[in-house]
Amino acid sequence: MTTPDKSQPAHGPAAAAALATDEISPAPITDTPTDKATTFLQAHAQTDTTFTCDEERQVLRRIDTRILPLLLGAYFFQQLDKSSLSYVSIFGITEDAKLVGQQYSWLGSILYIAQLVMQPLAAFILVKFPNGKVIASAIFLWGSSQAIMAACTSFQSLLGLRFMLGSFEAMIAPSCIAVTQMWWRRGEQTLRTSYWNAMNGITAIVGSLFTYGLGHIESGVMFKYQIIFLFCGLLTVVYAGVVLAFMPDSPMEAKYLTEREKVIAVERLRANQMGVSSGKWRWEHVWESLLDLKTWCWFVIIVAISGGIGTFGSLIVKSFGYTKFEAILFNIPFGAIQFIVIIASGWVATRFKHKGLTIAGVCVLPIVGTIIMLTVPREQKGVLLFGYYLVSCMAAITPLIYAWQAQNTGGDTKKKCTSGMVFIGMCTGNIIGPLLYSVDHAPLYRPGLISNLVMLVLVAALAILIPFYLMYLNRRHAKRREELGKNAVLVDESMFGKGQVESGKAAELEEAGAGVKPKALEEDNALRDMTDVKNEDFIYVY
């Protein structure tokens, strides 16, 4: 991050970099805890830490081809196993397992109760233990739980195994966010988060095809839902071995990167002002996360969009008058639309750097879809299906919230705790959501749909208001920088686009050639494991 002179306006990254040497910095703070990345860069202090755009692009390409596919697979399998309950809902699980009343709804909710209970432990584990090993272990354990669920033939046994499934799956979404923060710049994180979250759509497609095929198997020994549970669980267990073999714990420990590439991978993250990994649990970060208004804004939004349409999706489509196999196949376009909208919204938010407005815009589509499902007669199946597909666009909001909160939080423990709070909100919404729907409300499901409509309007309103609060926080940080003798205006290099990165790199290399040294680690807050509130150099993004 560079700082332009207070007496002149900034004219791009080159001008900002050229004037960076005029700033007056406060004395180094020696008692502030440091990040593991600091120790790594200090060990390579004698090496040249400047790098060209071509070198950075090569490192980024290697990260994208080695880390991103592993995240895609992990998120795909957790969504596949979690959603298997929805797939088997139309294959007689209520009759075969003798489910009555709200018991099917409780099978959907119990998974999120488990995830909610496990979130504090998940945050602690992600700070204290190697993230790559944590992800592999979690995948193996939840895959095993899914496979064992095939032996369950009663509500009590299904409830117990769904709780175990949720307990181990509690790790995966926070892990994916932690890995995204650890490997990519803030300007790159939104689209990468959209990529792995878009696996929800791919799961709907692949899971529907799996279910369609497996649902045709006639067995005198196993119910159809048992076959589906066993198949999904065993696939997941196999994938756990792949993650264990290929997922590194951090950029500093990636075996597929050379030492030079590791330095570049870490050095490029300094602009984030978020740290990389400390391995130390800090209670002051925990309390700050709980008292931070931003945390509760993300919490309310994620609660509001986490409803029961996912669990009851196939039953809702079936209520339009389609057969059980047609209902399964109609989930394929549902998944394709989710995939497209998630990627498209991530691109728009990255391109225009306004997540709040992007979220508000996305909300319009599911609002219209919900109104259609509430008002159109059941005889007009095509129109109802169109409305259901519009509701699927709601899935694009979740990764934008994940990325928004991740990009606006600094400090290792606080990052994990804030993500944990977001997932507690997600779990809370998913516990309440399915209970707003009931098979007793078929075929209209009006109470659940009306609740979803109200929540979507609330999300759109909050998404418009939150950026104003973030602007206030940026002004407060600017005032603190002036009080410390720094320049009030900072150029946020972590959010640079491709052209801006190239200009900034050219200026940096020109400085290096002229003998101007980059900011020393001791003078930079980026890798001190400071929270966003304490770090006056942190810039909030809208």
Confidence of residue 220 (pLDDT cuts 50, 70, 90): confident
> Where do the DSSP E strands lie in 160-264?
none
Does position 94 have pLDDT exceeding 60, yes or no?
Answer: yes
Does position 328 have pLDDT exceeding 90, yes or no?
Answer: no
- If one compares 384 and 239, the residue with the highest pLDDT of the two is 239
Peptide bond into 443 cis (omega under 30): yes
Rounded Cα gap, residues 313 and 295, in angstroms: 30
Q: pLDDT tens-digit profile of 264-299?
A: 999 888 888 887 888 899 999 999 999 999 999 999
Q: Residue 168 to residues 29, 116, 136: CA-CA distances in angstroms? A: 40, 11, 11
Which residues 6+ apart lie within 8 Å of 47 measured at CB? 259, 260, 263
For residue 76, give the amino acid letter. F
Q: pLDDT tens-digit profile of 475-503?
A: 999 999 999 888 888 888 888 766 555 55
Q: What is the pLDDT of residue 511?
A: 52
Does position 317 have pLDDT exceeding 60, yes or no?
Answer: yes
Does position 506 have pLDDT exceeding 60, yes or no?
Answer: no
DSSP 529: T
Rounded Cα gap, residues 341 and 56, in angstroms: 29
Quote the pTM value.
Answer: 0.85
Cα 106 to chain centroid, rounded:
25
- What's the rounded mean pLDDT across residues 97-106? 84
CB atoms within 10 A of CB 352: 11
Q: What is the pLDDT of residue 18?
A: 39
Q: Are 539 and 477 in contact (CB under 8 A)?
A: yes
Q: What is the pLDDT of residue 524?
A: 72
Rounded Cα gap, residues 423 and 420, in angstroms: 5
- What's the rounded mean pLDDT across residues 165-193? 94
All structural domains of the chain, each given as residue ranges with its CATH number in brackets, are: 51-251+286-479 (1.20.1250.20)
Q: Residue 68 to residues 9, 20, 123, 377, 471: CA-CA distances in angstroms? A: 38, 34, 21, 44, 32
- What's the rounded mean pLDDT across residues 2-14? 41
Average pLDDT, the chain: 84
Rounded Cα gap, residues 3 and 126, in angstroms: 33
Q: What is the pLDDT of residue 10?
A: 42
Cα 378 to chain centroid, rounded:
36
Structure tokens at 217: 């198997």
Torsion angle of the four alpha carbons 519, 523, 528, 532, in this order, in degrees rounded to the nearest 10: -90
